[in-house]
Amino acid sequence: MPINPPDAHVAAQWPHDSPLIACRFDPQGRYAFTSAEDNTVQRWKLADGTKTLLKAHDSWVFALAVTKDGSQVISAGGDGRLIWWPVEGEAPAPIRTVEAHAGWIRGLAVSPDGQFLASAGNDRVVKLWSIADGALVRQFTGHDAHVYSVAFHPSGTWLLTGDLKGAIHQWDVATAAIIRSFDAKPLWSYNGGQMVDFGGVRALAVSPDGKHLAAGGLNNASNPLGAVHDPVALLFEWDTQKLLQTHVAEGAKGSVWRLVFHPEGWLIGVSGGGSGGHVSFWKPDNPKEAFRFALPNIARDMDLHADNLQLATSHHDRHVRLTKLTPKG
């Protein structure tokens, strides 16, 4: 269904007691799940905003994923744990806990067939898990920096992971071999004065037809620790690895934290930083935004509802927000 980005509007917002981090819808569109700096996961009933807390992590939860059948949500934290939870129930308790990584887990992705979960983080290792029983299937080694993002190609044959230094590896899911790498180094910088590596591939998305790969983050980091940098998204052609477009958000300061492809051809990115929070809408043939939607506060994550007409965003001001994308015509 075509959408009209200029008609986007916040339709609902619900408060929590702590700043929010990650955000995902369940595939059936009944709930939004978020995580917060109080170490909890929150389940929000979209019909009325009812909140249910999921407590088991000993750290912030940086990544969330919901199984393809919508029966379970999986959370990943700075404690290195993966925790499976039931989506339904008045007081959800953990189904299983897996000691998965040495240090922070930064990214999660569910395979297109719903059988596997990919995880990645600060230990520079990517792991593939059986969703059914939590067993480790295989692990992928080859990154030399923290791994921030992970995504499956729609074919299910390939896994994409992006790290702090702008390397995006394409892995063979069946063998854990690196097939090739995409160069996203514009998303990374090193500041000699502050002595920090900064930026990285904070978001990865593959178009539904498998023909394009998008990577999000920041560039022009003149003062990294002062949050002076620009949000940007790189668009690659899948077959040739050619960089087709560098999508910018002119005048904004911050980083792109999540990217999603809308079925109607939009690349949608959520940014948060020095200029607040906003949602950018890009078309593949133009580096500049077709439209920018300002959010009430710094955003940290985003997800697209199964109806393709709603966005959920998690915010530093402790709110989850639902933005409606009005159908065109």
Q: Break the chain into its structural domains and give their ranges.
A: 5-324
Confidence of residue 260 (pLDDT cuts 50, 70, 90): very high
What's residue 75's pLDDT? 98
Contact 109, 140 (CB under 8 A): no
What's residue 231's pLDDT? 95
Nearest to 80 by CA among 94, 93, 63: 63
Contact 37, 47 (CB under 8 A): no
Q: Mean pLDDT across the stretch 300-327?
A: 97
The β-bridge partners of 299 are 315
Confidence of residue 98 (pLDDT cuts 50, 70, 90): very high
CATH 2.60.40.60 for the 5-324 domain, yes or no:
no
Whole-model pTM: value is 0.96
Q: Which residue has the tokens 């790290």?
A: 163
Nearest to 108 by CA among 204, 3, 227, 247: 204
Nearest to 120 by CA among 175, 184, 153, 169: 169
Q: Mean pLDDT across the stretch 288-311?
A: 97
What's residue 327's pLDDT? 86
What's residue 6's pLDDT? 94
Name which of 187-196, 286-295, 320-329 the model is least confident about. Answer: 187-196
Q: What backbone phi and psi angles, to 5 degrees, belong to 226?
A: -95, 10
How many Å apart are CA 140 and CA 101, to the nearest integer?
Answer: 12
What's residue 197's pLDDT? 86
**217, 220, 221, 226: CA torsion to nearest 10:** -100
Q: Mean pLDDT across the stretch 301-322?
A: 98
Contact 127, 134 (CB under 8 A): no
Confidence of residue 228 (pLDDT cuts 50, 70, 90): low
Mean pLDDT of the chain: 95
Q: Which residue has the tokens 């037809």?
A: 209
What's residue 224's pLDDT? 62
What's residue 11's pLDDT? 97
Report DSSP letters for 150-218, one per residue. Answer: EEE-TTSSEEEEEETTSEEEEEETTT--EEEEEE-GGGEEEETTTTEEEE---EEEE-TTS-EEEEEEE
Distances (CA, A) of 156 to 121, 136, 152, 208, 315: 21, 18, 6, 12, 31
Q: Mean pLDDT across the stretch 227-233?
A: 85
What's the number of CA atoms in the CB half-sphere (13 Å) around residue 42?
27
What's residue 220's pLDDT? 84
Q: Mean pLDDT across the stretch 218-225?
A: 76
**Whether residue 161 has pLDDT greater than 80:** yes
pLDDT digits (tens, 9 = 90+) for 183-211: 999 999 887 777 778 899 999 999 999 99
What's residue 326's pLDDT? 87
What's residue 255's pLDDT? 94
**Whether residue 225 has pLDDT greater than 70:** no
Give the largest CA-CA distance in the chain: 53
What's residue 202's pLDDT? 98
The β-bridge partners of 217 are 232
Confidence of residue 329 (pLDDT cuts 50, 70, 90): low
What's residue 2's pLDDT? 87
The percentage of residues in the chain with a pLDDT greater than 90, rounded to a whole number, is 90
The DSSP bridge pattern shows strands 291-295 and 276-282 to be antiparallel
Q: Mean pLDDT across the stretch 230-248?
A: 97
